[in-house]
Amino acid sequence: MVSIRLQLRLDDATRIGHGKVALLEEIDKTGSISAASRALGMTYRRGWELLDHMNKAFGQPVVTGTTGGLGGAELTPLGRDIISQFRAIEAELTQIATPRLRQIENLLENA
């Protein structure tokens, strides 16, 4: 199946794509940067680097640490909005592109 993958270029050095959004979603689900990173097959350090890139690009945190107990992490309103906007763009793009993707699939089948 032919598919598209969205990547938003924020500036020359920073992009947001499926991986960073999946990390935010996993942090929202697990409440932990390390658990989210592990679930996505990356190290804690790599997860933190991806978050740091987003924090710097937006000039404010996308995730904050929680205090008390075992600690953890939670998304900021900005982090939640990034997920929401990215997924909305992705859905709209997929809807618009689906007829063209089917045409490409037909070309592949007839090749």
Residue 82: which CATH number?
1.10.10.10
| Inter-CA distances, 36 with 49, 81, 106, Å | 13, 18, 38
Extended strands (E) in the chain: 7-9, 15-17, 63-65, 73-75
pLDDT digits (tens, 9 = 90+) for 78-111: 999 999 999 999 999 999 999 999 999 999 998 8
Query: Is the alpha carbon torsion for 35, 38, 40, 42 positive or negative?
Result: positive
Count of domains forming the chain? 1
CA distance linking residue 38 with residue 26, whole number of Å: 10
Domain that holds residue 94: 14-109
Sign (positive or negative) of CA dihedral 48, 61, 75, 50: negative
Is 93 within a domain?
A: yes
Q: What is the pLDDT of residues 36-66, one digit of tens each?
A: 999 999 999 999 999 999 999 999 999 998 7
Residue 73 lies in a domain: yes
Q: Is 8 inside a domain boundary?
A: no
Residue 85 lies in a domain: yes
Per-residue model confidence (pLDDT) at position 69: 57
| Any domain includes 2 | no
- Note the pTM of the prediction, 2 decimals: 0.88
Return the number of other C-beta atoms located less than 10 Å from residue 9's C-beta.
Answer: 10
104 in a domain, yes or no?
yes
For residue 1, tell me if it sits in a domain: no
Q: How far is CA 35 from CA 22, 41, 62, 91, in A?
A: 13, 10, 17, 27
Question: Is 39 within a domain?
Answer: yes
